[in-house]
Amino acid sequence: MENFLRFPLEQIPFVFLVLLIAFTLHEFAHAYAADRFGDPTPRSMGRVTLNPKVHLDLLGTILIFLVGFGWAKPVLVRRSSFRKPRLMSIIVSAVGPLANLVIAFIGILLTYLLAYFGLFDLMSPGVFEAVRVFLSLLIFMNLILFLFNLLPLPPLDGYRIVQEFLPVHTRLKLQQFEQWAFFLFLLIVFIRPLYNVTLGPFFSLWVPLLFGMDSVFQVIFGKAIHWATFLKIG
């Protein structure tokens, strides 16, 4: 069974915990921003909440375990409710991926704090390994989800952002092909040669993202985390 999973079996509980955090805060960010901008739809559908149950999507959750990325249940937003539809729609779409980026940032900060104050050294081997796996997955998965959601494919946030910069007639034309985008995405994911020249290089950007944020903490703490040793994922 492990051959079919993106993560080792012993990491699955940690993956699920990270998934709950990542998906819940991502969708809550969308719902909260839309609600603040005057759209009553997310609140009326019970989405302005930190309850993970209302945000999880079955297929998107399964894909996390199989391929390492997936999605939650999209928050329905009516841009016509916004005072400035284009600007506010872009912000509402962007805050979801940004929430994942912030979570990864917090994960890096926690790692530095534990190392700086010598708390890792006080842990038993078992506790250290559990904390290491959790923090590694928290950082890795949220950076991947940040990148994944920026893809310009419907119904992802990147597509919604790009839409707002297109002329109306172009947007209407694109809507005719939205139903096929999901199947195109699955083809790219499961046909390895296609993945290797498209999504693979894009998702590898999580590494420079990590080191970009890490450089900030190196300055603050005056020391560096050896990420190649710390991040032993999958």
Residues 6+ apart with CB under 8 A from 34: 41, 42, 75, 77, 81, 92
Angstrom CA distances, 17 to 20, 149, 186, 206, 230, stand at 5, 20, 25, 20, 19
Which candidate, 50, 72, 65, 71, places its Cα nearest to that of 15?
Answer: 65
d(CA 4, CA 190): 12
Residues 2, 27, 129, 164: which is the catalytic one? Answer: 27
DSSP type of residue 171: H
Q: Is 129 part of the annotated catalytic residue set?
A: no
The string of DSSP codes covering 86-121 is HHHHHHHHHHHHHHHHHHHHHHHHHHHHHHHTTHHH
Burial of 52 (0-12, 13-18, 19+ CB in 10 A): middle
Burial of 111 (0-12, 13-18, 19+ CB in 10 A): buried
Query: Which residues are tagged catalytic?
Result: 27
